[in-house]
Each structure stands twice: as structure tokens, then as C-alpha cells.
């Protein structure tokens, strides 16, 4: 039995890895083509290539459920095509045992993806985005392009060219308004450092506005008092889908306590937490297809079926998310419903093959 489990393990892993590499390569190639239109003297082809390469962990994580489904169909389908599954069943190997043999390598992929989501993707994504923004817009330029991001704190609006993981900000433009909405000050700092719990601006140019005149001041350095912290900026600057699970949980709780819009963060949080169930449910569907309606099908038809099922599942997931925000459905329920349906469908098909 150990030899049989090892054989199924190798076959399943090889199929999933090949599918994952193919899909991710196509995705990264498309991203690289998109970046070619943004090339400048600073943001060269090699920099664009590095930016795309840093997105490999994100691509692996996003396409893992799809790769598990299609890889499961390809791996088990190859065994079915050579009648090896028939021999295994004739030798007395139960369907439950074969299902567990396929799920074991999938569990390893699940653990790897969870580690990627928590420790690898947040760091690589923030470094890639901050470096790209800095090269495209530059740390010595004020707001002049679509790069960077905005934040508001009270009556002050801020634009950051880039935010790095070490508490270092580049190109910070700040606009301050009074209670009547009158702009009385704007400033630009080339560099802002977080030192001993405080932000310090470097090479600052400030313009003061009054009803009759404007004046300009420059500072070699000055302190900036704000409630923003490097950890909070990390959450604000990154794409919500690429945040670590622990940071999503803390920030969603923070927004909930402040009575702010926390639903989108909870939606992404539950999507990441329940990602293992997504992968397992899709693999069960793949197994049920191989032992059921796709037992005698060609490899091309199996792959086509897997692609269709994966696309339909993703569409339903993406529709349930916005629907939950519009109609007030619980984010947990919105994420869980497609998974439960897929899991129930896979188990139902498996039960019919006994």
C-alpha cells in the first residue's frame, strides 16, 4: 500500500505542479506585456522583469485551486487512461483509500500556500509595488501621476509616492485644510523616516496660503505628528488581496470597532482562511469526475471540463462577494456557500460511484 500511495502521490504532485507552472507563466507573461507600456529611463525592462518576478508567489497562490482541480483531472485521468485505476479497484483498494491518497499531496500544497499568504506574499508584494512606484514617479517629485496612493487623516490629505517595509517613505505630499475647507498649507518631503516612534521629514518644502499671499519655507528636517504607523501604512498601501491573514484580521477588527466599512476586509479574510476548503472541494470534484462521468473521456475533454468548472466556481465566488456587500449578507456566509455546494456536489458524485 505504501508503494501505491507513493505512486499516486508522485503522479498527483507532478500534474498539479505542471498545470500551476503553465497557468502562472501565462499570467506573468501577460503582466510583463502590460508593464512594457510603462517603461521609462528609470523603470527599465530589467526593473519591469523584476517587478513581474516578485509577483510569482501571488500568482501561485491565486491559481492554486484551479491548478489542483485541473491537475487532479490530469493526474488521475492518466491513471484511468492506462486502466491502472481499474486494476487498483479490482485489487480491493477502496474508493476512500484512493481519495485519501490523492488528498495527501494536496494538503502539502495547502500548507505551502498558507505560508506564502502569511509570510512571503505581503513582503514581496509591498517591495515590488513600492519600488515600482518610486521608479515611475520618483522620490523627488510631488503628485504628478497615477502612481502612489492617497490617505486622509482629519482635515489633512496625504499622497505617498512609495512606502517601504522598513518605515521609510519617499515623496510625501501633504495638504492641510481648516474647518471651513480652505487650503492653508501644502508641503512636500523627499524622504520620511520612522525613528523612535516618530516620523521625521527630510528636505521639506512647505507653501503657506492666505487670502492675500503665499509664502514658501524650506526645512532640512522636521518632525511630523500623526497617528499613522508603519504597520498601518503597510495595510493601507497594499492590495487587500495580498495582505497577510493576521493583518487582515487585526485591521478588520479595528474598522469594526470604529464603525467603519469593514465588510470588504472580512470578505478577503474569510476567503483566505477558507482557501484550503476551496482546494479540497475542487479536488473532490475532480476525483468524482474521474471515477464517474469522465472515466472514459479523452485527456483534452477532461482538461476542458476542469477549466469550465474552475471558471464557473470563480465567477460564483466573485459574484457572491459584491452581492454580500450590497444585500448585507455575512461575508463568512458569502465565502462559504459556494464551497459547501461544491463540496456537497463532489461527495454526491463520489457516493454514486461506490
Give the tens place of pLDDT for each residue, 325-342: 778 788 889 899 999 999
d(CA 79, CA 4): 12
**Pairing outcome for strands 149-153 and 156-163:** antiparallel
Domain borders along the chain are 2-136+274-352, 149-228
The predicted model gives 61-77 an average pLDDT of 91
What pLDDT shows up at residue 10?
A: 93
Residue 108 has which C-alpha cell? 502539502
The predicted model gives 315-324 an average pLDDT of 83
How many C-beta neighbours within 10 Å does residue 343 have?
Answer: 18
Residue 139 has which C-alpha cell? 522620490
The predicted model gives 170-197 an average pLDDT of 91
Q: Tell whether the model's pLDDT for residue 36 goes beyond 70.
A: yes
What pLDDT shows up at residue 145?
A: 47
Q: Which long-range contacts (CB under 8 A, 24 or more apart) does 23-28 make?
A: 23/63, 23/66, 23/67, 24/56, 24/59, 24/60, 24/63, 27/59, 27/62, 27/63, 28/52, 28/53, 28/55, 28/56, 28/59
pLDDT averaged over every residue in the chain? 86
| pLDDT over 70, % of the chain | 92
What pLDDT shows up at residue 35?
A: 94
Amino acid at each position: 500500500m505504501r508503494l501505491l500511495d507513493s505512486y499516486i502521490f508522485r503522479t498527483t504532485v507532478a500534474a498539479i505542479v505542471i498545470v500551476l507552472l503553465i497557468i502562472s507563466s501565462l499570467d506573468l507573461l501577460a503582466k510583463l506585456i502590460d508593464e512594457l507600456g510603462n517603461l521609462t529611463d528609470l523603470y527599465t525592462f530589467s526593473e519591469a522583469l523584476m517587478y513581474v518576478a516578485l509577483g510569482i508567489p501571488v500568482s501561485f497562490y491565486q491559481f492554486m485551486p484551479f491548478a489542483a482541480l485541473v491537475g487532479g483531472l490530469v493526474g488521475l485521468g492518466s491513471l484511468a487512461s492506462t486502466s491502472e485505476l481499474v486494476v487498483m479497484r479490482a485489487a480491493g483498494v477502496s474508493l476512500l483509500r484512493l481519495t485519501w491518497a490523492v488528498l495527501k499531496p494536496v494538503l502539502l500544497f495547502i500548507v505551502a500556500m498558507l505560508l506564502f499568504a502569511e509570510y512571503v506574499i505581503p513582503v514581496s508584494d509591498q517591495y515590488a509595488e513600492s519600488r515600482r512606484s518610486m521608479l515611475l514617479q520618483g522620490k523627488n517629485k510631488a503628485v504628478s501621476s497615477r502612481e502612489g496612493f492617497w490617505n486622509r487623516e482629519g482635515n489633512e490629505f496625504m499622497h505617498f509616492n512609495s512606502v517601504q517595509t522598513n518605515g521609510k517613505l519617499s515623496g510625501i505630499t501633504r495638504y492641510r485644510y481648516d474647518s471651513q475647507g480652505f487650503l492653508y498649507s501644502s508641503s512636500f518631503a523627499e524622504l520620511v523616516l520612522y525613528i523612535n516612534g516618530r516620523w521625521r521629514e527630510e528636505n521639506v518644502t512647505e507653501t503657506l496660503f492666505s487670502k492675500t499671499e503665499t509664502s514658501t519655507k524650506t526645512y532640512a528636517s522636521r518632525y511630523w505628528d500623526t497617528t499613522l504607523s508603519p504597520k498601518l501604512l503597510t495595510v493601507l498601501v497594499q492590495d487587500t488581496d495580498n495582505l497577510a491573514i493576521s493583518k487582515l484580521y487585526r485591521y478588520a477588527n479595528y474598522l469594526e470597532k470604529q464603525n467603519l466599512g469593514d465588510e470588504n476586509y472580512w470578505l478577503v479574510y474569510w476567503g483566505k482562511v477558507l482557501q484550503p476548503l476551496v482546494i479540497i472541494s475542487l479536488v473532490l470534484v475532480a476525483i468524482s469526475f474521474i471515477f464517474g462521468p469522465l472515466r472514459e473521456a479523452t485527456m483534452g475533454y477532461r482538461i476542458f471540463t476542469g477549466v469550465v468548472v474552475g471558471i464557473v466556481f470563480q465567477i460564483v465566488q466573485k459574484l457572491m462577494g459584491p452581492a454580500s456587500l450590497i444585500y448585507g449578507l455575512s461575508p463568512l456566509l458569502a465565502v462559504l456557500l459556494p464551497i459547501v455546494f461544491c463540496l456537497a456536489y463532489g461527495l454526491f458524485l463520489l457516493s454514486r460511484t461506490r
